[in-house]
Chain A
Amino acid sequence: MAHTTERTRSSRRIWDIPGGVHPPEHKAQSMQLPLAHIPLAPSLIVPLSQHIGAPAIALVKEGDRVLKGQKIAEADGPISAPVHAPTSGTVTRIGDYTMPHPSGLQAEAIEISSDFSDTWCELYPMQDYRERDRSEVLHHIRECGIAGLGGAGFPAAIKLNPKGNAPIDTLILNGTECEPYITADDTIMRVRPEEIVAGAEILAHLLHEPADVLIGIEDNKPEAIKEMREACEGTRFEVVVFPTKYPSGGEKQLIQILTGREVPSEHLPAEVGVICQNVGTAAAIYRAIQFGEPLVSRITTVVGEALDIQRNIEVPLGTPVGHILANHGIDREQMAKIVIGGPMMGFTVQDERVPVVKTTNCILVPARKELPAPVPAQPCIRCGICAEACPASLLPQQLYWYARAEDYEKLEAYSIKDCIECGACAYVCPSHIPLVQYYRAAKGTMREAEQEKLKSDRARERFEFRKARLEKAEQEKEAKRQARKKAAEEARKRKAAQPASDKAGTSGASSEADVVAAALARVKAKESSPEQQKARAERSVKSAQERVQKLEEKASAAEGTQRDQLQAQLKAAQLKLGEAQQKLTALDQPEKTSSAAAAVDAAIARARNKAAMSPLEKAQKSVDSLRQRIQKMEEKIPQEQDAELQAALRDNHRKFQEKLVVAEQELAQLQQQEPGEATTPPAGNDKAQQAIERARAAAQARAGMSDEEKLAAELSSLEQRVEKARQRLRKAQDEGNENVPAFQAALDKMENKLAEKRQQMGEQQ
């Protein structure tokens, strides 16, 4: 690469950068008037994210009184910066406001209504910074919320604490300001050169006194160069002047111009021994150390032919752009767009209420003819002029081609990530293709895809982890089952040793089984009380009859498909009625069960009624039958002569015992679901009992209600929620919220559910 050398007054070698353009400068426009202040805005909107990194976390709440300079939001994590109140007043609202951001989206901000007294809070300077530990000084700078004032807004303290081992040998203060129109840095260099130099001293101290401290300024700012040279007299700092060319002020480009070094792709300047800070940032750091002032205001260029007054102002952060325009005689007829930043890299905003933030170096309100709307793009003629202009030596036309085709692999190969979005290529393109927008869209999509990839990798991991966890749980269960099996085996052995042992020992000799058996016995006593069963059966017969009657009436009145439906329902109801009646009759003749014939009848009735049995009954039945069968088996096993058969029987026996354990547990649970009927547990403190109690308590919440009650409760909660959902939907519609369809869908779903539940309720009654 050809680095042309040029000799300047300072006799320091400077390098040239490839490419670059010379758009009309328009700098004189805003330099006719001195730096000024405007009246304080009645309310300031202070965004929580004015820097690169995580948004700060609000420390105040609505209604709090704050003083100027008071910290109102705290940095969240290392790459973040706190936010301070730009004036004194009251916090009126913390919520979403439109951001000064190309998206025009909203983000969280603190609105402070100003009390116009502009009272500072107590400030803590650190003038003895040379005696302090560096980390303390860095912490102080960080706490003052200082972020790069040049454009990107990178938290200053992080830059000053470079990781890695590369020693910093060059500190660069960037006073280039290569963008047309902007003169904010020019202004601060003219009016506060000493502050910048003092700031540079602090920076140099923090960076262990790098060999070179350079202040880079383009040669179109003679005034600023003079002031800075004067201020630098007596120091070892050097003002380096180089020819004007856009984009010399880009961090990487400036480093190349002043040192000839290139920052490796996707690395930081610190890795080539250079730290670069904006001149404004240096001044802000000085004020933070000298006076303890946090970053609450900045110098901003207000420029454009749509304004009567064009100048630089020092303005509190959070001042709405509209307020500033109103103070500069805006001609709304002429105003076609508001650009935050310069014409090459700035972005348009649609809302005049967006506030000035730490990175707002210019508010450009061009007249209609000044910066006309882009003309329709013509096809790329591959003229290569863009490649000539690109300061990063990319091939913009190829990038355009692949960005349009969304070929992200090719874009990666053509190093789209090294594009600094300077806009030089789009500026020179004779076909007026919005190249930068293509790159931004492609970069955004690539970034999104990267994040998606990360996320999906994490999801895969979590999914796999979960699978492993479930498997492990399954294994544990299996292990427990094995243990139980073993216990049963032992019990059986013991049993075999003393066959006369009582029945209570069947399910194992442990106390657990005893308790279960006892509980079972108790429940049996209660549950099978014939009166209760009969009463219930009668009730169900009655309700079934009513339902049948109702349905008959309805069916005769209805027509067509509805009638068919009703008829089907009717049939179902009749069946139910039949069952209920049978159950009732079965219950009516309990004394007969002793006789053989009655036993058969009862069995038939049982089979018929199986469907109508409560789960508790079912569980109990199965427990009973299991026990009986186990007992029978136990009797059989010792009698069996054939060894093989005996083994098979034993196996079976074991299986049944397992089943029994499960069934018993189920039963115990179910018993607790009939709270009215459950008996008080017997005295005794052993573990199993406690466990049972706990389980019961847990089930109580759910099972404490009868079905009807449960339904009713559900119904009322559903009704409430539907109401809520309706309100929310209405609100969303009023606000024009984009979630409206989602809310609508949710509401519809809920309403369906409600209708369903209501119907169920009707059926139950």
Chain B
Amino acid sequence: MSWFASVSDAMLVLGGMALVFGAILGFAAIRFKVEGDPIVDQIDSILPQTQCGQCGYPGCRPYAEAIANGDAINKCPPGGQATINQLANLLDVEAVPLDEEHGSEDIKKVAFIREDECIGCTKCIQACPVDAILGAAKQMHTVIADECTGCDLCVEPCPVDCIDMIPVETTPRSWVWEKPGAHSQLIATDKIGEIRGAA
């Protein structure tokens, strides 16, 4: 039975090694776990958080989850091309143009309630995804412009239609310089004289 002894020895050694290495691996897996953001969080952090539902999901996070599960990345109009590009970058897929079916990119807006017309029905509060509207029943309501994401969701429910989406104004404080235009990249149709004149 010596063959059995030697085989069983070998099996014992191998089995022991398997156990030891398994233990080491298991320990390493716990000890050195990569603390990466789950992909959904990363996607969610790119989405603009307007929470407007234009993508067809009830908010940005559900859309992030959907993207993580393979949905298209071009359904978020508030984010526009910039967001699509970032997502494409993150997920290593092609940056496709915005799906116009879900709406088109628009300038930034905030909601504004014409307070003298508001009847205080609180419908808008219920609609606002980020609690950016203040007011109580039968009191006039008002929008905290800083918190408003411009999602448009409060406009529809208002029975007296007293909510306007007003384009965000640029003030001297929020204004930024534009990239130089024609000066930097001349094309064939440019004439130096014209550029000088226009400048």
Contact = CB atoms under 8 A, between A and B. Distances in A.
Name the interface size band of chain B.
35 or more
25 contacts: A99-B172, A102-B175, A103-B170, A103-B172, A107-B173, A373-B196, A374-B199, A375-B196, A376-B195, A434-B183, A434-B184, A437-B178, A443-B176, A444-B175, A448-B176, A455-B146, A456-B47, A456-B49, A456-B149, A459-B51, A460-B60, A463-B59, A463-B130, A717-B117, A742-B167
A502 to B, nearest CB: 38
B49 A739 contact: no
Contacts of A709: none
B167 A376 contact: no
Interface in A392-409: 403-404
Contact of A459 (B49, B167, B175): B49
Given A438-B180, A441-B176, A441-B177, A466 B131 contact: yes
A462 B147 contact: yes
B51 A463 contact: yes
Given A373-B196, A434-B180, A721 B161 contact: yes
A445 B175 CA distance: 10
Contact of B44 (A455, A460, A746): A460
A588 interface: no
Contacts of A403: 179
Contacts of B137: 698
Given A404-B179, A438-B179, A105 B130 contact: no
B16 to A, nearest CB: 50
A404 B183 CA distance: 12
Nearest to A433: B184
Contacts, number: 121
Nearest to B78: A456
A32 B161 CA distance: 66
Contacts of B157: none
B130 A462 contact: yes
B77 interface: no
Interface string A464-502: 111000000000000000000000000000000000000
A654 interface: no
Contacts of A99: 172
A106 B137 CA distance: 37
Contacts of B59: 463
A465 B167 contact: no
Given A377-B183, A438-B180, A463-B130, A750 B161 contact: yes
B17 interface: no
A739 B177 contact: no
A233 B14 CA distance: 91
Interface-centre pick from B47, B129, B184 (highest chain A CB count, 10 A): B184
Contacts of A438: 179-180, 184
A224 to B, nearest CB: 33
B165 A105 contact: no
Interface string A352-378: 000000000000000000000111110
B interface majority secondary structure:
loop
A642 interface: no
A739 B167 contact: yes
Name the interface size band of chain A.
35 or more
A442 B48 CA distance: 20
Interface in A726-748: 738-739, 742, 746
Interface in A672-720: 698, 701, 714, 717-718
Q: Which A-B residue pairs are the 5 nearest by beta carbons?
A: A444-B176, A456-B49, A440-B177, A103-B175, A459-B49
B177 A102 contact: yes
Contacts of B184: 377, 404, 433-434, 438
B105 interface: no
Given A434-B183, A466-B130, A718-B161, 9 more contacts: A433-B184, A434-B180, A441-B177, A443-B176, A455-B49, A456-B50, A721-B117, A739-B167, A742-B109
A698 B130 CA distance: 27
Given A105-B175, A456-B48, A460-B60, A465 B170 contact: no
Given A376-B195, A456-B48, A738 B172 contact: no
A457 interface: yes
A445 B176 CA distance: 7
Nearest to B137: A698
Given A375-B196, A742-B165, A462 B131 contact: yes
Contacts of A524: none
A720 to B, nearest CB: 9
Contacts of B61: 460, 463-464
Contacts of A27: none
Interface-centre pick from B109, B129, B180 (highest chain A CB count, 10 A): B180
Nearest to B178: A441
B192 interface: yes
Interface in B19-50: 44, 47-50
Nearest to B155: A749
Interface-centre pick from A437, A455, A460, A698 (highest chain B CB count, 10 A): A460
Contacts of A447: 176
Contacts of A106: 172
A457 B49 contact: yes
B160 A440 contact: no
B167 A460 contact: no
